[in-house]
């Protein structure tokens, strides 16, 4: 899902305008950064749930995927481009998920 949404041709977003209310949402300035944050937050949470990764790999693996996607956006002919701010939004979602997971683990370990 992450690959599909981040590598979708830019004209694919115009097709989403047919859904009621979604066109106003899409037109919000920098909404794509919020979407990137959310996608990579969810990806990190799902990686933890599926593989129980607790180390720095929980940051490294999603960030490597994020970097690969940004490079592909710059190379593939889908009218998309490499954006360092997308990478920053992705990393923010990844790090937030990492700290949420660490807090939950800490709470579970130390509750009395």
**pLDDT greater than 80 at residue 17:** no
How far is C-alpha 22 from the chain's CA centre? 19
Per the CB < 8 A criterion, the answer to whether 97 and 48 are in contact is: yes
Over 60: is that where the pLDDT of 20 sits? no
pLDDT at residue 84 in the model = 96
- pLDDT at res. 91: 98
Q: CA angle 28-34-35, nearest 5°? A: 100
Containing H/E element for 4? helix 2-7
Please give the Cα distance from 32 to 43 (Å, whole number).
Answer: 16
CA 108, chain centre distance (Å): 26
In contact, 87 and 72? CB cutoff 8 Å: no
**Model confidence at 11, in pLDDT bands (50, 70, 90)?**
low
Question: Where is pLDDT greater, at 24 or 37?
Answer: 37
pLDDT at 23 (0 to 100): 62
- In this prediction, residue 87 carries a pLDDT of 97
- Give the domain ranges of the chain: 2-110
């Amino acid at each position: 899902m992450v690959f599909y949404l981040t590598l979708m041709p830019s004209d694919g977003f115009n097709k989403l305008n047919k859904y009621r209310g979604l066109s106003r949402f899409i037109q919000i300035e920098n909404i794509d950064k919020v979407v990137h944050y959310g996608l990579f937050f969810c990806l990190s949470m799902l990686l933890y749930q599926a593989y129980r990764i607790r180390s720095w790999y929980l940051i490294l693996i999603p960030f490597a995927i994020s970097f690969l996607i940004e490079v592909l956006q710059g190379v593939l002919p889908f009218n998309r481009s490499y954006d360092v701010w997308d990478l920053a939004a992705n990393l923010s979602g990844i790090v937030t998920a990492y700290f949420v997971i660490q807090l939950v683990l800490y709470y579970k370990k130390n509750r009395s």
